[in-house]
Structure 1
């Protein structure tokens, strides 16, 4: 089973639906782009869902093989994701971005700062002064708003040192008054969340890492104190969103398989949480068995403990007691053997000691070489993406493919060029030494 990541970007008046798959191979997260599909109709949820299904079908991927799908918070993409969920998969959204937006949309001063930045950027361009250009944000991306506020602080000393006064009066036709106390409080409050966002961009990043960094962000906001209104509002929004986050079965299941959160007498998971996670994991295990379609996975549910016990060598036929040994061996094999169900195996995971938050959980599972049944579940559940940022990165290739000289490329050509570029490592043999190729041209 694999997980999907979906997002939509627009360039040169062309809208492209990006589809990534994420899975675990040898206890490492693997990400591949399987679709860069030009959307030629209105972006309804039904249309997006149909395009996703067509893409999956082209790779012979059945919807039953999709464990989860992660999207941004665009209404049409979220609705399409929910429609996919009705077919099979769990649906996750980026609660972190939505948390920040919940607070930012209530702050009127941001609009004023944005207008000041526009004025400052025009003044900097028209002047000969060596002043760093402040960054203009994208109103739909909270982290770009944070970067804009930071950039204002970085040029504060130059502004207050008389940069504006040195300009000709004819050029100062915009309001450049700034509330520095507001900007300082804003940057201080959103700094912890911005650091958390940087962590999200790590490739080997699982849901347990996301939850750990979320909790750490809450603590940092608490330390800032109530004197910063934005920190208090952000902390309140995070706690509200966290409740919704923990209602998602895929999240609870991932935390259950994370020894940093599920351990003996854990304070992170209630008994209700554990029961919910257990039911979801058993359901996932049954799906894995069904997809495998072999008797081996059915029998593994009641695998014998004695299978792991050292076996005795068959006694020599010349031994005086050979017939007695054979008789006892037959009796042992016919005796009822103690079995462990998948439920008991999952229950036992909560009886271990907690590991530090710095632990690489994927390496942890690889090193302990656990039961095959549990390992098969781990590789599915821990592969769930905490964000669809890899799709956003994939969209950066659009600027290289779609230019004003190549704006009339067909949908299939765009898709093929992007897939080739984004999956270059998988397409090209690793044995080719590109340095040797460059030497041939020398």
Structure 2
């Protein structure tokens, strides 16, 4: 019998060359055909159906399941060999064993859709469905667009819980940015903090803005994100944004909210001498120093934008020279305001965006550069015509890149490509006869490229994933040194491009280098602390002292909260109520004592004499291994300051993942699923 092993109930029989015996216990049935006849399956099936109905029903169900699998999930289901084909010519199938669970399938499905950017309906495609269906059938689960969407939302909720736990009772730095993709506007929000000796950057949300992109709308979305993740406003240390008017206004509104909360707390603690000492009084409302960290003053022409500058006599030098060990008297008032400002949210300008604005200031103000770029763009656009493109292709030459007028880095790449293609452009007569780029124009292009090169290198260096304030200052000063050297060479050529770029950087850098939070981050970095002058160290020490007080109060409040939660588990008694009152009183006393002791200031000042550490040292690991617990806690709060909103792991980089989520055929995703997809993708 050629097909004897394919009938219903074949597993209940034992076959020999000429007979078949029933393997069911207590059954002695044996079937042997007549001499010369073949062994048929019909008598065996009839015996199983009459004598063993339970086993027959089980065999029928298994047969139906196998037929269904062959018909739906196997690629060889349509294979039908001819009668004269032997079984040896059929496709060989191997039985394999894999370790898989329902949780693993769900995890890999979410990863495929989020990290790999596959559509939600990917598991309904015939090829993928045939591949994974045997596994799904064995586990008793299914995967389709509806199930996948539900899994993603569940995974996003779990990720939110993990982020809540990770950033619980920590000072965090927030950075946010706007982006547009396929005509839809999104706001990306990132959290950043130093945790266990490592810089932790987490994407909190990528929210679609259905209303206008105003400062009030951005602020409302930010507040909603903070509430969703359980972040209190007193946990926010800094806000890092670019210089856009709407995002800076949102930051200013956040600062005003934090200031209002602080005033309410101060009014409730008016009997506390320490609270009165640190109170932000109404008399300071007219003092420009009271809003020194306000976001939104993006132009250097606004007096508020430069109010934090250290020393009026050093306005031409971002790092003023110190006269011995004395501190200028003009810093006294500024130090007092910094002590108050450290209790509130600080604003930090994006370093990369500040550099971009410096370059754009020069290009937009120089008519000669603008006229030259118009000529070059005409040449590059001409190379995109069909005939010229064929000439380049036949010669094996690369086409010059087309720039984006709003991004000077692409203009730099375009000029570089044009210079490399100069011999070929002159050979085909495109640049000389059609638009007449003179030798003077070519010389000016070379000079402009030479001036832009250090700026281009600095832009790339400022996009590191773990860029610290000290590393930024080092790269910034290195760029200025190169431009100063080029300015000397330019003066001999009667040009002033490099000097113009240098002047623009010095005008723009005031917004960054006068920020107390920025100076504090450099002060606590022993690799670059030596770059600060004495007046800047005074500002940093004042900010750190006030911040240490803020951290101490947060720690005390956290202990009280934990103790209250512990007491709520048991029924309150008279003794427990008295004990709770004593604990609260003791914590308040210790907090007041801790925030007024002189040791905090001495501890911070003592770090000024720390020997310099090599630049290659991992500053986060260095502080994690530091023996001084209080100093380490203070340093970890400030060295994680995000000086740029466009680092490799920031909100701006997050938007590049939208190209995989909002593809041409996937524009119908709703805002909630986009937020969940981007959160899981960026935090994978």
TM-score (norm 2): 0.52
Distance 1:302 1:374 in 2: 18
Q: 1:214 is matched with which residue?
A: 476
Conserved 8 A contact 1:302-1:340: no
Q: Tell whether 2:539 aligns with 1:287.
A: no
The C-alpha deviation readout for 1:127-162, integer Å capped at 9, x for no partner, is 443221222222222222222222222222321233
Conserved 8 A contact 2:375-2:437: no
For this pair of structures, how many residues does the alignment match?
378
The one of 407, 430, 450 aligned to 1:164:
430
Q: 1:388 is matched with which residue?
A: 645
Q: Describe how 1:27-176 pairs up with structure 2 within 5 A.
A: 27-86=197-256, 87=258, 88-94=344-350, 95-107=354-366, 108=370, 109-122=372-385, 124-127=388-391, 128-129=393-394, 130-162=396-428, 164=430, 175=435
Distance 2:177 2:389 in 1: 35
Q: Describe how 1:191-340 pairs up with structure 2 within 5 A.
A: 191-226=453-488, 227=490, 228-262=495-529, 266=530, 268-292=531-555, 293=557, 294=559
Note closer, same or farther for the CA distance 1:298–1:360 as it changes in structure 2 (3 Å cut): farther
Note closer, same or farther for the CA distance 1:74–1:137 as it changes in structure 2 (3 Å cut): farther
Note closer, same or farther for the CA distance 1:365–1:181 as it changes in structure 2 (3 Å cut): same
Shift of 1:357: 4.1
Q: CA RMSD in A?
A: 2.6
Note closer, same or farther for the CA distance 1:61–1:161 as it changes in structure 2 (3 Å cut): same
Q: 1:343 is matched with which residue?
A: 601
Conserved 8 A contact 1:116-1:177: no
Shift of 1:256: 1.3
Following TM superposition, the consecutive aligned residue runs of length 4 or more in structure 1 with deviations greater than 6 angstroms are 295-298, 300-303
- Greater Cα offset, 121-130 or 248-257: 121-130
Q: 1:355 is matched with which residue?
A: 613
Shift of 1:55: 1.0
Shift of 1:126: 4.9
Note closer, same or farther for the CA distance 1:234–1:116 as it changes in structure 2 (3 Å cut): same
Note closer, same or farther for the CA distance 1:141–1:63 as it changes in structure 2 (3 Å cut): farther
Note closer, same or farther for the CA distance 1:145–1:351 as it changes in structure 2 (3 Å cut): same
Note closer, same or farther for the CA distance 1:114–1:91 as it changes in structure 2 (3 Å cut): farther
- Unmatched tracts of structure 1, length 5 or more: 167-171, 304-338, 425-442
Distance 1:349 1:85 in 2: 30
Shift of 1:176: 6.7
Question: Of the two structures, which has the highest relative contact order with CA contacts closer than 8 Å and spacing of 6 or more?
Answer: 1
Shift of 1:120: 2.5
Shift of 1:360: 3.5
Q: Secondary structure at the match of 2:428?
A: helix
Note closer, same or farther for the CA distance 1:270–1:164 as it changes in structure 2 (3 Å cut): closer
Q: Secondary structure at the match of 1:57?
A: helix
Distance 1:65 1:209 in 2: 25
- Unmatched tracts of structure 2, length 5 or more: 1-170, 259-343, 560-585
Distance 1:97 1:165 in 2: 29
Shift of 1:222: 1.6
Q: 1:323 is matched with which residue?
A: none
Shift of 1:66: 1.1
> Larger C-alpha radius of gyration, 1 or 2?
2
Distance 2:431 2:356 in 1: 39
Note closer, same or farther for the CA distance 1:278–1:298 as it changes in structure 2 (3 Å cut): farther
Distance 2:633 2:482 in 1: 36
Q: Tell whether 2:194 aligns with 1:24.
A: yes
Q: 2:666 is matched with which residue?
A: 406
Note closer, same or farther for the CA distance 1:298–1:211 as it changes in structure 2 (3 Å cut): farther
Note closer, same or farther for the CA distance 1:222–1:403 as it changes in structure 2 (3 Å cut): same
Distance 1:165 1:190 in 2: 23
Conserved 8 A contact 1:300-1:373: no
Q: 1:416 is matched with which residue?
A: 676
Distance 1:159 1:361 in 2: 50
Distance 1:151 1:96 in 2: 23
Q: Secondary structure at the match of 1:17?
A: strand
Q: 1:326 is matched with which residue?
A: none
